[in-house]
Amino acid sequence: MSKSDLRARPIFHHTRDSIKAHLNIVFAALAIGRWLKAATGWSIRKIVKTLRRYRTIQIEINGHTVTTAGPVPADTAELIDNVRRALG
């Protein structure tokens, strides 16, 4: 899995604090990705591809905003169940 798989753009940092913050985020993402892979048995690519398809929408009706989503697809529900089981 690479930044191109996630459709991420290159990041350029110029200060020490920015560089350290970026590395912290990257390593945290790597740790979470490894945990998800171990917990679900799915590759990160499959997780991203599965979750990318699921969307919510916001509709404004008479000044009120309603957030809604379609039914959770079976593969997404399976992923969520696997994560919940791993969390205990």
pLDDT digits (tens, 9 = 90+) for 41-59: 999 989 988 888 888 888 8
Show me where the domains of the chain are located.
16-87
Per residue in 69-83, pLDDT (tens digit) is 888 889 989 999 999
CB 57 within 8 A of CB 67: yes
State the angle between helix axes of 16-40 and 44-52 in degrees (0 to 180), rounded to the nearest 10: 90
